[in-house]
Amino acid sequence: MRHERIAAEPAGTGLGQPVTGADLLAAQLAAAGATHAFGIPGGEVLALVDALGRAGIRFELARHENAAGFMAEGLWHATGALPVLVATLGPGVANAVNVVANAQQDRVPLIFVTGCIDQALAESYTHQVFDHQAVLRPLVKASFRAAPGTEDLVVAKAVAIARRGRPGPVHIDLPISVAEARTTHRTAPAITLAAPLVPADLRPAQALLAAAKQPLVIAGLDLVDQGGAVALDRFLAATGAPLLTTYKAKGLVPEDHPRVIGAVGLSPKADAIVRPLIEAADLIVLAGYDPIEMRQGWRNPWPAGKPVIDIVAEPVQHGMHGAS
């Protein structure tokens, strides 16, 4: 499908300078830490691809949307740069479903920007058109449709949501008319993340730690995402507790650390070795432990009455092995 596009030109750098809606969106992505965007262009996202370049974000062409998404995730793991995936409407979105689901499972703050036609046209034009948001909502933390005047706001909200608590993908649908519309440069909105919360009374947890003779720590993906390696090392030194990790959490502390036992959750043979340690422990400390990595045998791996301290990025909804 062909669309007339405005000529690419450098975006204004001062307030009130003429820019496009795509420029506002791209500038906000750059301000949030994006250095690269990955994807396959189509007519519905060409204005965005041009704007990304003007914002200093390098667009990397891939052969498939899934490959592009995994490249974005890899960049995030390697450098911490905001991972951005770009896809055109319809088949482009459908091709990316697998990598968006992977971002949900791997807790990756992927920003997935998709091109779409205007809503009025969608009522009478059906070629490669389906409801992107309906398809993606089960897989993303949030889904937005940019409207005139909200281009930078939806990015600010998307990034805040993607990074808050357990990271995860967020989707932005960008209509062609919004991407190409002339507007003016303005100050980007400030979105403040909520401060971490702790229980009002930590004395029960302190009492459990003080009474424990054989505590055991299980560290997981949340601790990686929250940058908790130093705190974990200090906790092990203070308590002398042995450490099990999920496979994603390997390397939080060096594998030759005297308290490190190894990774668990995917190998029945390894699990059989460490199960006696779990049974013998008189206190389980879950440090950023996310059971999304674990196989079925880890739904409830210790008796219901065993004391558990659960330190998590956000309240858990899985209904398994709750804290004491």
Q: Within its chain, how far is the Cα of 52 from the centroid?
A: 21
Region 201-214: mean pLDDT is 90
- What confidence tens digit (pLDDT) does each residue in 69-124 have? 999 999 999 999 999 999 999 999 999 999 999 999 999 999 999 999 887 676 66
What is d(CA 314, CA 161) in angstroms, rounded to the nearest whole number? 13
- What confidence tens digit (pLDDT) does each residue in 221-247 have? 889 888 899 999 999 999 999 999 999
What is d(CA 278, CA 301) in angstroms, rounded to the nearest whole number? 8
N-terminal to C-terminal alpha carbon distance within the chain: 58
pTM of the model: 0.72
Q: How confident is the model at residue 3 (pLDDT cuts 50, 70, 90)?
A: very low
- What confidence tens digit (pLDDT) does each residue in 43-73 have? 899 999 999 999 999 999 999 999 999 999 9
What is d(CA 313, CA 103) in angstroms, rounded to the nearest whole number? 17
Q: Where would I find the H helices in 137-193?
A: 151-163, 176-180
Write down the pLDDT at residue 34: 97
- What confidence tens digit (pLDDT) does each residue in 13-37 have? 454 567 899 999 999 999 999 999 9
| Class of domain 203-311 as given by CATH | alpha beta
| Class of domain 18-184 as given by CATH | alpha beta
Q: How confident is the model at residue 308 (pLDDT cuts 50, 70, 90)?
A: very high
Portions of the chain given CATH number 3.40.50.970: 18-184
Portions of the chain given CATH number 3.40.50.1220: 203-311
